[in-house]
Chains A and B, each alone.
Chain A
Amino acid sequence: MINSNNVLSTATRLFTTTCLGLAVLSNSNLATAVEVDVQIHYLEQTIDRPPTRSKLIVWPEDDGQQGAALGIADNNTTGKFLKHQYELQKTIVDNQSDLMVEAKKILGSGPVLLLLNVPAESVVAIADLPAANDDLLFNARSKRVSLRSEQCRSNVLHSIPSRAMLSDALMQFFAKRRWSRLFLIEGHRAGDLLYAQAFRSSAKKFGLKISDDKQWLEDADIRRNASLEVPLFTQAKKYDAVVVADEDQDFGHYLLYNTWLPRPVAGSAGLSPVVWSPVIEQWGALQLHSRFRKLAGREMTGVDYANWAAVRSIGEAVTRTNTNVVAELSQYLIGDQFELAGFKGHSLSYRDWNGQLRQSVPLVHAHAVAANAPLEGYLHQLTELDTLGLDRPESQCSRF
């Protein structure tokens, strides 16, 4: 909606450049229209979800894709005033070998911006491809802690929180409430074991004791006999809360109200640390929810949010630097100036020791936010957000 007869038209003509072209760093904040085209690639390996007991648990097929789409739409609405145009190129495969073939194709065409929605091992494999050297990859799906530590890569930023951030959030809550003895139950799947490990580390970090540590029953008929199986399974003298690691939502929900001692259930069921949730209403979140619902016809998941945040990060960087040159955007994103408003009540920014997007972690249940981590009282010399996840001295990443 820019009036062609306006004062700026001369300036605009002077400044107009074509895409893939010259980087113009604007000194003034008057938005002069420098034409910039931004291509963002999206690569996904569809996960075969195991069947869940409850028919209520539904994993959307376009999980992540819609988040990225909303990010593009938001960027384009802003971009209209700046002559910046964003486009998403999606590639979806269902197996590892096709994934590497497609990754090579995408990365081979010069420096690119790529959203990765792939398993942790593939994040590393793709980042290590020779062609990936000049690219900027966003891990928007894997919560694997090692990707933020010994397996980090300088060309990978993480827009999704790690398991360590989620488990730290929960343990901060327990520590503050002095629920210091915990009964930990882990499922059998790979993700469950990793999540349980994160809970153990976080409990230690915040000085809590895991008094009981058990793996869930392999073949309990839990839908029918929760009230028989669960009390027996959770029988112990003393604990303040039950923590469950059950990432596929298979059995955790059946623990509530059936534990031997009357105690809250937390983790993958009950009080859950999450990336995003429909129950988050503060900080203008209703606005994000409503835009997402209109676009996707469903609620926004944590993976959607992580993809949205990655695309918005790129948008914010392009808006402030007026360039689509990947090397410059990378530098801006990891630098001091970068800030993104992410509907969490504070600025989001990337940690310069491991590329993790720092963000608060809400603790929610089905209908409300119970608390927001970092909880008040946890102090940090830089920002309280860094009390969640791997702080600089805790991370073994040395690539940034």
Chain B
Amino acid sequence: MIFFRLVFCRSVLCRLVLCRLIRSIPFSIALLTYSTYSHAHLVYVTNEKDDTISIIDTKTNEVINTIEVGERPRGITFSKDFSKLFICASDSDAVQVYDVAQAKLIHDLPSGEDPEQFVLHPDNKRLYIANEDDAIATVVDIESRTVVAQIEVGVEPEGMAVSHNGKWVIVTSETSNMAHWVDTDNNEIVANTLVDQRPRDAEFNAEDTELWVSSEIGGTVAIIDVESKETRKTLSFEIKGVSADRVQPVGMELTKDGKLGFVALGPANHVAVVDRSTLEVIEYILVGKRVWHMALTPEEDKLYTTNGVSGDVTIIDVASLKAEKSVKVGRYPWGAAMLPDEFVP
């Protein structure tokens, strides 16, 4: 390196530039190889009617394993260190804990009845669980395996979200049409935002300045300002050739860079792509039947969608916004969670 510098450069500026260039070469090579290297992350998909989880390898996009879990598995999420997988086994009235390294279910957590969906607090200690049948959200301490609090919410809670700073947990109530704001310091509801009919899911953006809430029967997504807790904008969706009744927003994924939002539209069989700088829908991507939830790869270059009625998962390439392939899983795939390749045992 030094030889090159001495030979090719006389001036200090030239040496500086060349030095910088040379030093960056290994990095550039690494960057090149990084972007073309396919990661073998694993996508865990709950199959609601089969009581199983299908595991998809993102390099081959094939199902490499199917594991048996409790009854009617729906919500699914990894612990912060990706050593454990939490599964809402709704009809078993439990949250099951799956050890990723040992590849087996190790114990249950109490969850209240009929846990449908949940979020893991960023402190990695508490699960906030929606108990659909009882108009309650249950807070569970993972370490001690005890119920810490039960919060009365509206009718049929399902959608759960937690802000990245851990301050807010959101519970959406399907029949009460509300997003409840839970202060995680005292687990009390501090405010309620009315949304359109039948809210199903909630997502915070990376900065925790926006909360997105989908309304399945209302057919809209509300973008709520976290500061004022009021809706700033309501997104509507229209797909040529698809009856408006079938456009039913459920799951949403927001990219970390703030550029794109993806909305699964249920029996419309499409995923809407929202440009977050303009808050306009820029694309509708055709996937399988009754698309409800999704998971992005850690690089956010691929999006995996669960298509309940067709029993498959579609892989969307984020750069081109095109559906690449669909892979068959079990019956009525519901939730999807991503295990990054560095954590794959």
Chain A residues within CB distance 8 Å of chain B: 1-3, 6-8, 28-31, 74, 77-78, 80-82, 284, 287, 290-291, 316, 319-320, 339-341, 345-347, 383-384
* Residues of B contacting A82 in the complex (Cβ-Cβ under 8 angstroms): 192
B174–A284 contact, CB under 8 A? yes
B243–A384 contact, CB under 8 A? yes
The 8 closest A-B pairs by CB, nearest first: A78-B176, A341-B217, A31-B192, A341-B197, A341-B198, A29-B194, A346-B245, A1-B189
Interface string of B126-163 (1 = CB under 8 A from A): 00000011010000000000000001101110000000
A78–B173 contact, CB under 8 A? yes
Query: Assuming A347-B218, A384-B243, is B175 touching A78 (CB within 8 A)?
Result: yes
* Residues of B contacting A316 in the complex (Cβ-Cβ under 8 angstroms): 177
* Residues of B contacting A1 in the complex (Cβ-Cβ under 8 angstroms): 151-152, 188-189
* Residues of A contacting B244 in the complex (Cβ-Cβ under 8 angstroms): 383
B195–A29 contact, CB under 8 A? yes
Query: Assuming A3-B190, A77-B135, A347-B218, is B178 touching A31 (CB within 8 A)?
Result: yes
* Residues of A contacting B222 in the complex (Cβ-Cβ under 8 angstroms): 29
B133–A339 contact, CB under 8 A? no
* Residues of A contacting B188 in the complex (Cβ-Cβ under 8 angstroms): 1-3
Shortest Cβ distance from residue B123 to the other chain A in the assembled complex, whole angstroms: 21
Q: Is B191 an interface residue (CB 8 A)?
A: yes
Q: Is B41 an interface residue (CB 8 A)?
A: no
* Residues of B contacting A340 in the complex (Cβ-Cβ under 8 angstroms): 197
* Residues of A contacting B183 in the complex (Cβ-Cβ under 8 angstroms): 3
* A340–B180 CA distance with the chains assembled, in angstroms: 20
* A305–B55 CA distance with the chains assembled, in angstroms: 41
Q: List 21 A-B contacts (CB under 8 A).
A: A1-B151, A3-B183, A6-B191, A29-B195, A29-B230, A29-B231, A30-B191, A30-B228, A30-B230, A31-B178, A31-B191, A77-B135, A81-B180, A81-B192, A82-B192, A284-B198, A287-B132, A319-B177, A341-B197, A341-B216, A345-B217
Query: Assuming A30-B228, A30-B230, is B155 touching A78 (CB within 8 A)?
Result: yes
* A78–B192 CA distance with the chains assembled, in angstroms: 10
Shortest Cβ distance from residue A12 to the other chain B in the assembled complex, whole angstroms: 11
Q: Is B5 an interface residue (CB 8 A)?
A: no
From A2, A28, A77, A345, B189 is in contact (CB under 8 Å) with A2
A284–B190 contact, CB under 8 A? no
From A28, A290, A341, B230 is in contact (CB under 8 Å) with A28
A339–B217 contact, CB under 8 A? yes
| Interface members, chain B 253-311 (any A CB < 8 Å) | none
Interface string of B166-206 (1 = CB under 8 A from A): 00000001111110100100101111111111100000000
* A3–B174 CA distance with the chains assembled, in angstroms: 23
Interface string of B5-45 (1 = CB under 8 A from A): 00000000000000000000000000000000000000000
* Residues of A contacting B216 in the complex (Cβ-Cβ under 8 angstroms): 341
* Residues of B contacting A319 in the complex (Cβ-Cβ under 8 angstroms): 177, 194
Query: Assuming A1-B188, A384-B243, is B154 touching A29 (CB within 8 A)?
Result: no
Given contacts A1-B151, A284-B156, 15 further A-B contacts (CB under 8 A): A2-B189, A30-B230, A31-B194, A77-B155, A78-B175, A81-B154, A81-B189, A284-B198, A316-B177, A339-B197, A339-B217, A339-B218, A341-B198, A341-B216, A347-B218
Q: Is B322 an interface residue (CB 8 A)?
A: no
A78–B154 contact, CB under 8 A? yes
* Residues of B contacting A80 in the complex (Cβ-Cβ under 8 angstroms): 152, 154
From A7, A78, A290, A341, B133 is in contact (CB under 8 Å) with A290
* A287–B116 CA distance with the chains assembled, in angstroms: 12
* Residues of A contacting B231 in the complex (Cβ-Cβ under 8 angstroms): 29
* Residues of A contacting B154 in the complex (Cβ-Cβ under 8 angstroms): 77-78, 80-81
* A340–B177 CA distance with the chains assembled, in angstroms: 10
